């Protein structure tokens, strides 16, 4: 398995799905359009909901994107762990009533084992309890060893977020540990301990959940997949922590430089360094999508992130304003994929 940079993985993924007939679209804005239930885009499929429900006609029935996402539900854990963050990029390929399980499963396997060259003996697959169709395709078409497939319930293998398109899913996991996991219990324990990490979720979107919690069958089944770019980059770069991934480490190093601190020397300082590193990513991207600090909604989320970053800067002893300088590292890292970062640099 070759080490490969985060930006190169993004390109490899989008190029792979273009070769499978997908239209590559740029990331949508973090500001949802016509979605009253959602404050900030939090998944690759979120801006595509009208295409799944048939409310709008997609520009192609096969689309691939790398979507910028912000999730602040776990904000209290950010900095304390090596894997939580408020900003992430989600790679995805989508079928709007076009292909289904028969195509997406072998493609996913081809991408991870032939393009990324992940070793098969480190991969596990989970499927929804009674999804025998997925089991058959994973074993017979993709050639996955049946012993490496586990069946999990609704909590793990049924994807839904509020109301909207949802369905059973199949997840792909990477094992960083030694030895083979043979039972569901062993699998769940290893996943809990972060030995096994989930990195790609293939959702077989068949329902539209309404406000009353009813699952209404969609007229045509769809595919929605999501792969956390930072997470797969960590796997490819053999790093446990998202803060050690190449592009993110550049930001972290700059935080250390301006605070004159060395990462890894003090537990509390490391937390502050990670919080600033994460929050400068989310805030730079939010501002480039025209979100401004305010007392409510998205603006409040931005204000809170900026305040937290600034407070942790003070805790590290940084004097004066420093966040603007850090934005430049975020822009430099990502402007090729997100040109709006450069276009909006001076607002
Ligand atoms: N919707 C799924 C997720 O966000 C797959 O894209 O994980």
How many residues make up the chain in this entry? 347
Tell me the H-state helices in 151-240: 154-157, 184-192, 229-236
Confidence band of 35 (pLDDT split at 50, 70, 90): confident
Does the CB atom of residue 94 touch ligand 1 within 6 A?
A: no
> Angle between the 267-288 and 297-315 helix axes, to the nearest 10 degrees?
150
Which token pair is 45? 């499929």
User: Looking at residues 270-298, what average pLDDT do you find?
Assistant: 97
**Beta strands 123-128 and 149-152, pairing class:** parallel
Q: Mean of the pLDDT values across residues 239-264?
A: 97
End-to-end CA gap in the chain: 42
What is the distance between the alpha carbons of residues 270 and 292, in angstroms, rounded to a whole number?
Answer: 28
Between residues 3 and 290, the one the model is more confident about: 290
Determine the pLDDT at residue 3: 86
Q: Ligand 1 centroid to 11 CA: how many Å?
A: 19
Has residue 347 got a pLDDT over 80? no
- Six token digits for residue 148: 């490496």
Q: Residues of the chain with pLDDT > 70: what percent?
A: 100
The rounded Å distance from CA 80 to ligand 1 centre is 25
Q: Report the C-alpha dihedral over residues 282, 283, 286, 292, rounded to 10 degrees.
A: 160
The 10s digit of each residue's pLDDT in 290-329 is 999 999 999 999 999 999 999 999 999 999 899 999 999 9
Determine the pLDDT at residue 121.
96
Q: Which residues fall within 8 angstroms of residue 289, CB to CB, at 6 or more apart? A: 29, 30, 31, 340
Is residue 86 pLDDT above 90, yes or no?
yes
Mapped onto helix, strand or coil, the DSSP state of residue 213 is coil
pLDDT band at 24 (very low <50, low <70, confident <90, very high): very high
Q: What is the pLDDT of residue 125?
A: 98
Local structure of 57: helix, strand or coil: coil
In angstroms, the CA 52 to CA 145 distance is 32
The pLDDT, as a whole number, for residue 149 is 98
Residue 112 sits at φ, ψ, to 5 deg, of: -80, -30
* Ligand 1 atom index nearest CA of 92: 6
Q: Is 115 buried (19+), middle (13-18) or exposed (0-12) by CB count in 10 A?
A: middle
pLDDT tens digit sequence for 181-222: 999 999 999 999 999 999 999 999 999 999 999 999 988 899
Nearest CA to ligand 1 atom 2: 226
Residue 123 backbone class (left: φ over 0; alpha: ψ -120 to 50; beta: rest): beta
Give the pLDDT of residue 186.
97
- Nearest atom in ligand 1 to the alpha carbon of residue 203 is 5
* 54 compared with 153, residue with greater pLDDT: 153
In which region does residue 199 sit, left (phi positive, over 0), alpha (psi from -120 to 50) or beta (all else)? Answer: alpha
Q: Which residues, at least 6 apart from 39, have a Cβ–Cβ distance to it below 8 Å?
A: 32, 297, 298, 301
Residue whose pair of structure tokens reads 């098969």 in the numeric block: 120
Q: Could you tell me which residues come within 8 angstroms of residue 177 by beta carbon, excluding any fewer than 6 positions away?
A: 190, 195, 196
pLDDT interval class at 234 (50, 70, 90) = very high
Query: pLDDT value at position 219?
Result: 87
pLDDT in tens, 253-271: 999 999 999 999 999 999 9
Site to probe by mutation for ligand 1, drawn from 28, 225, 228 as the one with most ligand atoms within 8 Å of Cβ, is: 225
Give the distance (Å) from ligand 1 centre to CA of residue 232. 15
Q: What is the pLDDT of residue 161?
A: 82
- How far is 97 from 57, CA to CA, in rounded Å? 11
Q: How far apart are CA 176 and CA 171, in angstroms?
A: 16
Q: Is the CB of 172 under 6 A from ligand 1?
A: no
Question: What average pLDDT does the segment 12-38 reach?
Answer: 96
pLDDT interval class at 36 (50, 70, 90): confident
**Mean pLDDT confidence for 117-134:** 97
- Which residue, among 230, 280, 291, 292, has the nearest Cα to 251 in the 3D structure? 280
What pLDDT is recorded for position 164? 87
């Amino acid at each position: 398995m070759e080490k490969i940079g985060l930006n190169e993985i993004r390109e490899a993924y989008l190029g792979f799905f273009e070769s499978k007939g997908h239209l590559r679209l740029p990331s949508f804005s973090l500001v949802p359009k016509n979605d009253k239930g959602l404050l900030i885009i939090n998944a690759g499929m979120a801006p595509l909901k009208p295409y799944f429900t048939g409310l709008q006609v997609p520009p192609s029935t096969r689309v691939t994107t790398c979507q910028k996402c912000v999730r602040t539900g776990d904000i209290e854990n950010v900095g304390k762990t090596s894997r939580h963050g408020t900003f992430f990029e989600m790679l995805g390929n989508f079928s709007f009533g076009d292909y289904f399980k028969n195509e997406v499963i072998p493609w996913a396997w081809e991408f991870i084992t032939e393009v990324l060259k992940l070793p098969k003996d480190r991969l596990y697959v989970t499927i929804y309890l009674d999804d025998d169709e997925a089991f058959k395709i994973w074993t017979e078409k993709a050639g996955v060893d049946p012993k490496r497939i586990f069946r999990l319930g609704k909590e793990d293998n049924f994807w839904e977020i509020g109301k909207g398109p949802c369905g059973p899913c199949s997840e792909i996991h990477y094992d960083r540990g030694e030895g083979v996991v043979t039972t569901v219990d062993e699998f769940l324990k290893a996943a809990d301990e972060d030995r096994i990490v989930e990195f790609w979720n293939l959702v077989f979107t068949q329902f539209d959940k309404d406000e009353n919690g009813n699952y209404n069958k969609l007229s045509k089944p769809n595919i929605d997949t999501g792969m956390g770019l930072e997470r797969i980059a960590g796997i490819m770069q053999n790093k446990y922590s998202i803060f050690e991934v190449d592009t993110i480490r550049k930001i972290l190093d700059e935080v250390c430089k301006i605070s004159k601190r060395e990462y890894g020397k003090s537990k509390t300082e490391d937390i502050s360094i990670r919080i600033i590193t994460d929050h400068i990513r989310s805030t730079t991207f939010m501002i480039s999508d025209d979100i401004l600090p305010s007392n409510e909604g998205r603006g409040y989320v931005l204000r809170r992130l900026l305040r937290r970053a600034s407070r942790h800067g003070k805790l590290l002893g940084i004097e004066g304003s420093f966040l603007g300088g850090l934005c430049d590292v975020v822009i430099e890292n990502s402007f090729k994929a997100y040109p709006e970062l450069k276009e909006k640099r001076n607002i």
